[in-house]
């Protein structure tokens, strides 16, 4: 297999998810940093590769894959071990639901392009933008805690990391960047701590990535 190429940005939570999944699967890959802060994702060169102009994008097996959860599910099928979902269909649906609550309900509202639009075109000051960010994280984490707690173990579901934990860890990283209080979410914090102690998660952390000049 040709070595995969991940187009990412060190602080993109969606790209962070894919880095974790690649590490969990033991897939070695190369990185191409796309500097979102400088608008590199809008360049003609990058849009020729990825019409969406977003990260992550993974070039693997002759494919150009976009959208983090789609990429992760491809990796889950392509490299079955370790599994990222439980075998039982009901349990798998529960885990997917937790992952989607982060990736579809929390993250899109706090995406960098949304924050730039709030501050730029709509003219909100930084305090208002930060309040927006914290509001939507808190609105999403509270129900996630309630859903996860009854069936959690060391991780959000049971005692092995799943796609839900892959989504959780980057989201809590972002929450801490914006000083969101997290004490009300003990289940989420336990899963985050246990995941972050694993090499696959630790190596994917933004602080361990090349930072664009």
Element (H, E) at 5: strand 5-8
**Which of 157, 15, 171 lies closest to 96, judged by CA?**
157
DSSP 53-93: --S-EEEETTEEEESHHHHHHHHHHHS-SS-SS-SSHHHHH
Closest-CA residue to 106 (of 17, 191, 187): 17
Half-sphere exposure of 4 (CA within 13 A, CB side): 25
The highest-level CATH class for domain 5-82 is: alpha beta
Whether the model clears a pTM of 0.85, i.e. scores above it, the answer is yes
pLDDT digits (tens, 9 = 90+) for 132-149: 889 999 999 999 999 999
70: CB partners within 8 A, 6+ apart: none
Mean pLDDT of the chain: 93
Q: What is the pLDDT of residue 119?
A: 86
Domain parsing of the chain, residue ranges: 5-82, 89-200
* 142-170 pLDDT tens trace: 999 999 999 999 999 999 999 999 999 99
d(CA 60, CA 148): 33
pLDDT mean over 39-58: 89
Return the CATH number of the domain spanning residue range 89-200. 1.20.1050.10
pLDDT tens-digit map of 179-195: 999 999 999 999 999 99
More confident residue, 141 or 211: 141
Which three-class secondary structure state does DSSP give residue 29? coil
| pLDDT recorded at residue 213 | 62
């Amino acid at each position: 297999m040709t070595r995969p190429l991940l187009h990412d940005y060190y602080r993109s939570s969606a790209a962070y998810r894919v880095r974790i999944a690649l590490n969990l699967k033991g897939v070695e890959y190369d990185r191409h940093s796309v500097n979102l802060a400088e608008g590199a994702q809008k360049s003609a060169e990058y849009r020729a590769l990825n019409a969406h102009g977003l990260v992550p994008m993974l070039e693997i097996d002759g494919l150009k894959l976009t959208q983090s959860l789609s990429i992760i599910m491809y990796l889950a099928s392509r490299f079955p071990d370790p599994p990222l979902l439980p075998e039982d269909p009901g349990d798998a649906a529960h885990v997917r639901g937790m992952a989607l609550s982060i990736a579809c309900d929390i993250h899109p509202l706090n995406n960098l392009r949304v924050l730039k639009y709030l501050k730029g075109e709509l003219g909100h000051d930084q305090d208002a933008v930060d309040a927006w960010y914290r509001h939507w994280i808190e609105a999403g984490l509270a129900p996630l805690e309630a859903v996860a707690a009854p069936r959690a173990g060391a991780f959000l579901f049971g005692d092995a990391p799943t796609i839900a934990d892959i989504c959780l860890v980057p989201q809590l990283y972002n929450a801490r960047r914006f000083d969101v209080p997290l004490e009300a979410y003990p289940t989420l914090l336990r899963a985050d701590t246990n995941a972050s102690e694993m090499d696959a998660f630790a190596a994917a952390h933004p602080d361990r990535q090349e930072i664009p000049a």
